Structure 1
């Protein structure tokens, strides 16, 4: 066991204090948001309905997820390892899951209170600046909480478990990632089912505005923004923070010993200071575009993060790798550890800045790609969809290329050393996450401003100038949401790549423990299962299966939204048909029924993607071996980055193309062009807010599952005492669980389609009879 010196323990203690200070700053920012005015009585009534719906949904979701958490907690005890480590890992899993859930709930609970305050601020003489500041500081609360809880969890485990902390933190990261994935999928299904249903019936069929109170799906749409974009994204970025730290600590211990275990904590502690700077410096000046102010705050904080991380590297790290106590073979590395670490962090920060620019270019309302998508609306919905798909494909290539270039840059810094490269990639991820406080603030800005516009439109209490301010803030929010999705994807790739290295470390350690029994074996089949060479056919099978899992996961998520949205469309149509007073304003729509449908369908669809993510790597690992499992992870990472960027950016382009037309371009609202971009936007909704973002935690969950089961796979594959029957049995059970969940989903889809078809036919007959 690696022993930590007194100096290291003091540093970790100080980092824990910084974590607590971050939570105090979050509390201060929260108070500043809540003292703002709440607007008129009508605004408050609408906001209260959104609050109640969001709270009810998350409470039901957490009760469902608690069952999964308890089951996984028990399964972690079945993994091989020291008893104390197993207990610590299982308990850390619960803390990771609880922290992820807490971050998500905090993001939702404050956002549903801030939106009405931002709507009220639009009536202020300086409404643009005041509204933008309130929306951004709402996100700042969540961002500081992400930093605080992430640092507190990691520092606490290191203080208790010292050198064994990385093994325990595997459970912490797994809990955070698993909960985030469920919250991303569930919240995404809820929000996009409501959004698609509201747009198709309200805008296209009835020709009423997006947030018209006569539309029964409007409250559910606003609820969905909070449980999907606020709660889901906050939990997603928290798990990215936690998992990247876990990978950095595992690899840091292997490469640099004690210093490698402590330095990633120092880098992320820098992020706490950077987050405060970013939140306080992001201010809209006069009539300045809100996006410009947010960019300025991000770049200032990013520069500060690079400088402070470099200071930490040259202050804490030694000038040579000799005598550091790491277990990894670094070869003849001559690079200065201080310089290598500082440059790796800088690469991570620069990567975030470049992706911010690329994503803004492909999804912004003033740039060529999105304006091109808007222009295609003149020839119908088909060309809008096709142009958006093209934007998504193209942007995915550039984003993936930039991420690949960053990884190559780290590899060059490491002088070709594989293990040092993996550690520096993890440090680059930590560097990118020094800006996580500002990134979360940018993301939360989007749904808060969107909800504020909805509340203003539904209440009718904001004048023309105030409505224009909120529309502008909403357009900025659409871009910031797309940007943060791009940065989150980059974080996911860096974290998954680093976890890939952690997986290799776990396999190496396990193989070393059974080395004598493997060395004398002549079992060619077992040798192939242990082989990492990509040219091996069985390893290539793993690559194909990993890429296929990403596609299947995405398809399940989009299909779930499709089914739920269909139910919403039928319900909203029913209310318009059976309650004619809705259109004249004499009858209040039954908002609660739509919220109930969204809640029921999203929770019903929650299990299938989660079971696929958790059990697919188990089936591959136990069925094919650690080599093919490595290929599985590689295939998932490669396909995942391209798929996630494609889905996020095509959806963002469609959304802002709709905004461009609604501002009066190409005929404006109510025109054929408007109808075309609304259809494009509804196609993009499950892309950018359900399937795309959920790929981020999917990659981490699968990598962490592989990391956790690798020692067991190796132990069961050793020729001298292999238990092939048990190994294959585990693989078959895992495959049946994942496959069974998919089959049940397909059967459920068939029943839903039949029910919707019967309901639609009944409506047609009723309509014909009335005529």
Structure 2
């Protein structure tokens, strides 16, 4: 039984003509592209710029580490955070290394144009995974050393605010430079080695980056929010002590979590966004613009390196100006410079007609249009999209705007109204953001009547957005570094008065910048995933050409019942993935609650300061549970497309991707912005509004923030790499799905066996996960059992 409809089978066998106006023939043109000396010079220049970004990152590292580290007590706390974060990531990488080796071997079994491409795809899968790990680890390593330096800078009598902000932002600048440097270098290296065969090899590079980032994002998110929720529930709510009070055994784990989740996890996430968008651009560029389409997507992010350096260096708060205003100004200036330089690059490098392009099909040449103008407008659409999302997300999550103030005001009537108002903010912001992203995608799509060129324009919009990634990563890392700095200050008691107020301000700004970067990250996911539809479709066409002797056009009609089933499953997987992530936080947080309660009960000297809490036990609980919980959402992301593709076919798998992208966009923004609004409404009350700290309003906002923690820092951000992983898995398996579903090679037994194994593994993982209780009511019956359960 074939997976294709009778009409599609006819196309595959050459008995029905495909629609020539939409055909994409990447195999015919891309593999025949060869680089001339001048082209190698362009790629070499891009690699030099990438290495320059890494060198600039090193300069910033030296600058950050040169700052003072404060008192001995502050340094002791920072050292404990450093040790906990390093121990967690080392254990996580040992766990993920096994998974990476398995995937590396499986990639060899998938179809490829040649043995060389198959080997290159597997090797560069490891490169992508390794780069993602390096960026994540570096983000953690530096942030755990910068946090104490930011706290120390805030203590300085003169220019303390300016220096603290500079150290925090330039710490993020380091991670930003490493992200763009390694991403650009990896893509340019593949093009240098494989030329026209680079797009297929780059699938492995992007998959490696996305897969590891997803695991780091989920694992780090579970760790950080388990500690944060556990600390808040026992410390703030039950014991009525401050957030980072050293008497709370979960405080060190909470600070460790900020680094392994928001620094390591988010840095890896933004790197994979960078890598996968480049992958989509290079794959589609060769089909649409030929040789120039292979190289221009490298030139655009190379320009972004220059503007990132400018953006990092000009970030400075003026007297009486908020830190968020200064950061936003730097972003807009760097974005404007990027737009001007990219426009110049498009007009200088690309011809004014398709006849001037090298290696494109006659069909695309006949469509007409101006390649330089198409590329220019597409890139600017991406840059404008980043700017609009920055303003939109800032409006819904910053303390100075009405949405957060309304959530804060709702605390006067209790926790329930805080929850309801925060959810309302999340739902509303998701709609506006989805419309903005949709407008950008559709605007880029309208730039050409050729589907191949239109999809490339969407990918170029993603490249335009990438020009701001250096500053975006700096904004993101700024958040957890500032949060940690405030935690160290409060735990040590060595930062008071104006210094403490400076850190409180920077922490609130950091909550907003983190929300902004999550919004921009999901926008890149949508652009990349939409563009990768073209890669998925092309992979099917190539496999059909091999199986049936004619390159066929696959049209997946959305009202076909089998496709609608795929759409429903794709949407359901996003909900299921989010539920798994939030339940994982609930389970781990429950274990933290038991342990912190036990310590307060069994060690009465903690409250008067005569006994030191056992911080290490909570760190161990968070580490153990977060790594244990990684398997189920990871297996779901990788195997669900396999089950749908081999079980239902290529059409339903396309529907699956569409459903996941649409639902994932709304879900990710809802989770991120509602969580950000709850967090900053708490900051608003703690600043003295509606009764201030210790009031009933404060207790209500703490509950809201606790609910929002796994929303904004675990489930929401993890949807971004989830979408890319599922898209790339679909692209990689598409040829095999067609091979076992067409004509003489149709093999239902093989197809259904593969789908069955995938379903069995997912079900088994879910069953094992569900055996772990999520209810705090299932607490151990007595203290002795509690000690055993948390040991």
TM > 0.5: yes
Judged with a 3 Å threshold, the aligned counterparts in structure 2 of structure 1 residues 518 and 180 are, in CA distance, closer, same or farther, namely closer
**Whole-angstrom distance in 2 between the partners of 1:710 and 1:507:** 6
* 1:516 CA displacement: 3.5
Counterpart in the other structure of 1:647: 671
In the alignment, structure 1 residue 153 sits paired with structure 2 residue 195: no
The root-mean-square deviation of aligned C-alpha atoms, in Å, is 1.5
Counterpart in the other structure of 2:340: 307
> Can you list the C-alpha shifts for 1:157-178, whole angstroms capped at 9, x where unaligned?
1111111011001000000000
* 1:7 CA displacement: 1.3
Mapped contact 1:174–1:243 kept (Cα < 8 A)? yes
Match of 1:496 among 519, 525, 529: 529
Mapped contact 1:126–1:286 kept (Cα < 8 A)? no
Match of 1:512 among 537, 545, 569: 545
* 1:333 CA displacement: 3.0
The SS at the match of 1:761 is: coil
**Whole-angstrom distance in 2 between the partners of 1:327 and 1:735:** 41
> Can you list the C-alpha shifts for 1:117-168, whole angstroms capped at 9, x where unaligned?
0000001111111000000000000000001100110111111111101100
The SS at the match of 2:354 is: coil
Bigger mean CA deviation after superposition, 70-79 or 311-320: 311-320
Mapped contact 2:386–2:520 kept (Cα < 8 A)? yes
* 1:334 CA displacement: 2.8
Judged with a 3 Å threshold, the aligned counterparts in structure 2 of structure 1 residues 425 and 531 are, in CA distance, closer, same or farther, namely closer
The SS at the match of 1:326 is: coil
**Whole-angstrom distance in 1 between the partners of 2:745 and 2:101:** 32
* 1:331 CA displacement: 7.8
Counterpart in the other structure of 1:245: 278
* 1:765 CA displacement: 12
**Whole-angstrom distance in 1 between the partners of 2:656 and 2:116:** 31
Match of 1:626 among 638, 641, 650: 650
* 1:757 CA displacement: 4.8
Counterpart in the other structure of 2:10: none
Counterpart in the other structure of 2:326: 293
**Whole-angstrom distance in 2 between the partners of 1:331 and 1:376:** 60
**Whole-angstrom distance in 2 between the partners of 1:329 and 1:294:** 46
* 1:508 CA displacement: 1.6
In the alignment, structure 1 residue 397 sits paired with structure 2 residue 392: no
The SS at the match of 2:702 is: helix
Counterpart in the other structure of 2:352: 319
The SS at the match of 1:69 is: helix
Mapped contact 2:545–2:551 kept (Cα < 8 A)? no
Counterpart in the other structure of 2:39: 8
Mapped contact 1:254–1:328 kept (Cα < 8 A)? no
**Whole-angstrom distance in 2 between the partners of 1:129 and 1:422:** 44
Counterpart in the other structure of 1:410: 444
Counterpart in the other structure of 1:535: 559
List structure 1 runs of 4+ shifted beyond 6 angstroms. none
> Can you list the C-alpha shifts for 1:282-302, whole angstroms capped at 9, x where unaligned?
112233210011001100100
In the alignment, structure 1 residue 167 sits paired with structure 2 residue 200: yes
| 1:30-429 to 2 correspondences below 5 Å | 30-81=61-112, 82-124=114-156, 125-322=158-355, 324-327=358-361, 329-330=363-364, 332-414=366-448, 416-429=449-462
Mapped contact 1:518–1:718 kept (Cα < 8 A)? no
Match of 1:659 among 673, 683, 697: 683
Match of 1:464 among 497, 502, 509: 497
* 1:502 CA displacement: 1.2
* 1:254 CA displacement: 0.8
Judged with a 3 Å threshold, the aligned counterparts in structure 2 of structure 1 residues 318 and 145 are, in CA distance, closer, same or farther, namely same
**Whole-angstrom distance in 2 between the partners of 1:602 and 1:765:** 22
**Whole-angstrom distance in 1 between the partners of 2:55 and 2:687:** 41
Match of 1:735 among 756, 759, 763: 759
**Whole-angstrom distance in 2 between the partners of 1:660 and 1:332:** 60
Mapped contact 1:518–1:719 kept (Cα < 8 A)? no
**Whole-angstrom distance in 2 between the partners of 1:128 and 1:473:** 9
**Whole-angstrom distance in 1 between the partners of 2:652 and 2:170:** 46
In the alignment, structure 1 residue 486 sits paired with structure 2 residue 512: no
The SS at the match of 2:85 is: helix
Mapped contact 1:112–1:226 kept (Cα < 8 A)? yes
Mapped contact 2:281–2:459 kept (Cα < 8 A)? yes
The SS at the match of 1:717 is: coil
Counterpart in the other structure of 1:769: none
In the alignment, structure 1 residue 583 sits paired with structure 2 residue 607: yes
**Whole-angstrom distance in 1 between the partners of 2:518 and 2:364:** 35
Q: Which blocks of at least 5 consecutive residues in structure 1 are unaligned?
A: 520-526, 767-771
> Can you list the C-alpha shifts for 1:361-401, whole angstroms capped at 9, x where unaligned?
00000100000001110111111001100100000000000
* 1:758 CA displacement: 5.6
Mapped contact 1:192–1:686 kept (Cα < 8 A)? yes
**Whole-angstrom distance in 1 between the partners of 2:162 and 2:527:** 35
Mapped contact 2:354–2:365 kept (Cα < 8 A)? no
**Whole-angstrom distance in 2 between the partners of 1:679 and 1:326:** 58
Mapped contact 2:542–2:551 kept (Cα < 8 A)? no
Counterpart in the other structure of 2:634: 610
**Whole-angstrom distance in 2 between the partners of 1:331 and 1:689:** 47
Q: Which blocks of at least 5 consecutive residues in structure 2 are unaligned?
A: 1-30, 787-791
What is the TM-score normalised by the length of structure 1?
0.96
> Can you list the C-alpha shifts for 1:260-288, whole angstroms capped at 9, x where unaligned?
00000000111111110110111122332
Aligned residues: 752
Mapped contact 1:364–1:653 kept (Cα < 8 A)? yes
Mapped contact 2:170–2:474 kept (Cα < 8 A)? yes
Mapped contact 2:541–2:551 kept (Cα < 8 A)? no
**Whole-angstrom distance in 2 between the partners of 1:549 and 1:345:** 32
* 1:760 CA displacement: 4.3
Mapped contact 2:289–2:453 kept (Cα < 8 A)? no
Judged with a 3 Å threshold, the aligned counterparts in structure 2 of structure 1 residues 482 and 730 are, in CA distance, closer, same or farther, namely same
| 1:536-555 to 2 correspondences below 5 Å | 536-555=560-579
Judged with a 3 Å threshold, the aligned counterparts in structure 2 of structure 1 residues 86 and 279 are, in CA distance, closer, same or farther, namely same
Mapped contact 1:189–1:564 kept (Cα < 8 A)? yes
**Whole-angstrom distance in 1 between the partners of 2:682 and 2:783:** 30
Counterpart in the other structure of 1:761: 781
**Whole-angstrom distance in 1 between the partners of 2:172 and 2:639:** 34
**Whole-angstrom distance in 1 between the partners of 2:362 and 2:104:** 31
**Whole-angstrom distance in 2 between the partners of 1:222 and 1:511:** 53
**Whole-angstrom distance in 1 between the partners of 2:212 and 2:761:** 19
Mapped contact 1:349–1:428 kept (Cα < 8 A)? yes
Judged with a 3 Å threshold, the aligned counterparts in structure 2 of structure 1 residues 333 and 516 are, in CA distance, closer, same or farther, namely closer
**Whole-angstrom distance in 1 between the partners of 2:784 and 2:92:** 35
**Whole-angstrom distance in 2 between the partners of 1:740 and 1:326:** 48
**Whole-angstrom distance in 1 between the partners of 2:244 and 2:253:** 11
